[in-house]
Structure 1
Amino acid sequence: MSNSTYILDEKLLASKGQRFLNYLLDNIMVLALLFVLGVILGLIGSLFELHGIFVWLDNIGDLEGRLIFILITIVYYAVTEGIFGRSLGKLITGTIVVDENGVKPDFADILKRSFSRIIPFDGLSFLGNSGRGWHDSISDTYVVNKKELEEEVKVFHEFNLIGNNEVI
């Protein structure tokens, strides 16, 4: 067996269009989650006659709303990318989050990635020259085309098997 390690080829990076679509779809998902949270809180308030919940929901200020949005965003990305290696947007666009070796990053890197998203304008930072967002660079992760990555890794490992003697 070969000891060589696959290193990601940057030609596999998701396009800026895919990244932008990921951004839009994931923001829609976060807004949907916020709506569902509001409905659940409303139902809990109605079922248990907790009128304070309605007062709080009616009086959420701009700062509170932004903090809740940030919290839901961090949880959404940490859970989806931490468990599946991809968010709903990435699932739809056929992209996935990987480390430099083309494998799912560890949870610490996913948390770095998720918390880095609160940096202002991070959501559009992938539009720069490198095509990688700040949350990618900070966490040493990459967003790549899943099928192309799988094919390249398969070819890499098959190439490394050439010349190796099988032991039966």
Structure 2
Amino acid sequence: MVAFENFIVTPDLYASKGSRFTNYIIDLIIFMLIAFGTLFLLATLFYALAEDTSPMDNFINGLENINPLLDRLLTAIVLALLYFSTETLLKGRTVGKYITKTKVVLVDGTNPNALEYLKRSFSRVIPFEALSFLGAEGRGWHDTISKTYVVDIQKYQAKLKAHDSLEQIGKNIENE
């Protein structure tokens, strides 16, 4: 069993900026496919089953003429909810993070709770936030606001295993 006692996530464990950018692009594509796919499926079902299609016609027409600021806000909220759902259900991972072998953890190496994932997800609504991980430390505003870290899983597990081994050695010496 791996212990998290006295474990600290250090910059050498952080996912690279390239991995972070890849995560962003993959997740954005997946989330857009989910959003558009869901809307397409619902519209198709509505048109197939409803006798009066005017409500759907009005809805689609309204989407075409939506205020650009409202469009951006609604899109950001939908993306935040998709990030929240995905990272919560997959314990700190998204499709992009699975592909790049990265995950979200807290400073002590444990998994964030739902509130931390919620902070992380809704911090993404901040304008230009997607570019914030390009700073010197490679952590985005959604990381710093939620106090989370995106780590390279191989490096993280290796350090956690080494840490656990040292903890076990210390306990064996104390017991003698």
TM-score, L = length of structure 1: 0.90
| Aligned counterpart, 2:100 | 93
Rounded Cα–Cα distance in structure 2 between residues aligned with 1:14 and 1:127: 12
The CA deviation at 1:163 is 4.1
Rounded Cα–Cα distance in structure 2 between residues aligned with 1:110 and 1:146: 18
| Aligned counterpart, 1:68 | 74
Amino acid at match of 2:96: G
Alignment of 1:70-149 (within 5 A): 70-84=76-90, 85-149=92-156
In 1, are the aligned partners of 2:84 and 2:118 still within 8 Å (CA)?
A: yes
Are 1:158 and 2:165 matched, yes or no?
yes
Q: CA RMSD in A?
A: 2.0
Rounded Cα–Cα distance in structure 2 between residues aligned with 1:72 and 1:163: 48
| Aligned counterpart, 2:34 | 33
The CA deviation at 1:12 is 0.6
In 1, are the aligned partners of 2:4 and 2:108 still within 8 Å (CA)?
A: no
In 2, are the aligned partners of 1:41 and 1:53 still within 8 Å (CA)?
A: no
The CA deviation at 1:128 is 0.8
Compared with structure 1, are the counterparts of its residues 138 and 73 closer, same or farther at alpha carbon in structure 2 (3 Å cutoff)? same
- SS for the counterpart of 1:44 is helix
Structure 2 residue runs without a partner (length 5+): none
Percent of aligned pairs with the same amino acid: 39
Rounded Cα–Cα distance in structure 2 between residues aligned with 1:12 and 1:165: 28
Amino acid at match of 1:73: L
Rounded Cα–Cα distance in structure 1 between residues aligned with 2:71 and 2:45: 20
Q: Which moved more, 1:52-61 or 1:145-154?
A: 52-61
In 2, are the aligned partners of 1:99 and 1:140 still within 8 Å (CA)?
A: yes
Rounded Cα–Cα distance in structure 2 between residues aligned with 1:5 and 1:163: 13
The Cα offsets for residues 101-152 of structure 1, whole Å up to 9 and x where unpaired, read as 1121111110000010000010110001110000000000000101211121
Q: Which moved more, 1:147-156 or 1:93-102?
A: 147-156
Q: How many residues align?
A: 166
